[in-house]
């Protein structure tokens, strides 16, 4: 961090300090122990992925709003906007992207080394529709056994400030 601070000082000609602070923010907390419980699928389809979706009605509405948007049909016949595989942290990061929240992992126990997921939603504005967010959480819990809830947690944020004349070098924490 000192190297970046030095570059900023040289570039701006100002005595800048970079500091990390923890700030309470609304996040989605994921807790519990992972147990994969696939959706009920046609008998000839092997269940192997988690589906990120709100409801069948929301899916139909999204398809009507953007019928030309590229979609994939998976082996279960679901229209997907995305089909991916990744590790558990990547999965949570993608969930966070779609719901518009940072996701904090407070899960316990063994996590899967690889998860396959199919996304059946656009980037809804869940902050404006708490009922849709809760339905999304219910669907995720049904498939993963994990609990999802909005809560406040201290999140690290980086700040840049100008060091005042009374602050000695090394005093900023």
- What integer best gives the mean pLDDT of the chain? 84
Asked if residue 68 belongs to a domain, the reply is yes
Classify residue 32 as left (phi > 0), alpha (psi -120 to 50) or beta: left
Q: Is the model more confident about 14 or about 64?
A: 14
Asked if residue 56 belongs to a domain, the reply is yes
Measured in whole angstroms, how far is the alpha carbon of residue 168 from the centre of its chain?
A: 40
Q: What's this model's pTM, rounded to 2 decimal places?
A: 0.76
Asked if residue 73 belongs to a domain, the reply is yes
Q: How far is CA 138 from CA 54, 132, 135, in A?
A: 9, 10, 5
Q: Domain span at residue 47?
A: 24-154
Per-residue model confidence (pLDDT) at position 173: 47
Asked if residue 40 belongs to a domain, the reply is yes
Q: Give the count of domains, the chain.
A: 1
Mean pLDDT value across residues 134-162: 95
Cα four-point dihedral sign 154, 95, 122, 126: negative
Q: What is the DSSP string of 64-99?
A: HH-TTS--EE-TT--EESEEEEE-HHHHHHHHHHHH
Backbone angles phi, psi at 86, to 5 degrees: -170, 180
> Is a pLDDT exceeding 60 seen at residue 150?
yes
Per-residue model confidence (pLDDT) at position 69: 53
Asked if residue 6 belongs to a domain, the reply is no
Asked if residue 165 belongs to a domain, the reply is no
Mean pLDDT value across residues 83-97: 94
DSSP letter (8 states) at residue 126 = G
- Report the DSSP beta bridge partners of residue 28: 103, 150
Asked if residue 104 belongs to a domain, the reply is yes
Asked if residue 7 belongs to a domain, the reply is no
Per-residue model confidence (pLDDT) at position 127: 72
Cα–Cα distance for residue pair 74/149, rounded to 1 Å: 29
């Amino acid at each position: 961090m000192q190297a970046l601070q030095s570059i900023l000082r040289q570039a701006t000609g100002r005595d800048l300090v970079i500091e990390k602070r923890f700030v309470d923010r609304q996040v989605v907390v994921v807790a519990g122990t992972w147990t994969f419980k696939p959706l009920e699928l046609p008998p000839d389809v092997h269940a192997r992925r988690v589906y990120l979706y709100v409801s069948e009605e929301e899916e139909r509405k999204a398809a009507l709003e953007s019928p030309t948007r590229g979609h994939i049909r998976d082996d279960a016949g679901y229209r997907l906007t995305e089909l991916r595989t990744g590790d558990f942290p990547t999965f949570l990061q993608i969930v966070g992207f779609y719901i518009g929240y940072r996701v904090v992992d407070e899960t316990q126990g063994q996590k899967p080394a690889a998860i396959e997921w199919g996304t059946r939603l656009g980037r809804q504005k869940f902050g404006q529709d708490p009922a849709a967010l809760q339905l999304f959480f219910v669907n995720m819990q049904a498939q993963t056994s994990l609990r999802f809830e909005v809560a406040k947690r201290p999140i690290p944020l980086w700040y840049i400030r100008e060091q005042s004349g009374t602050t000695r070098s090394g005093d900023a924490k």
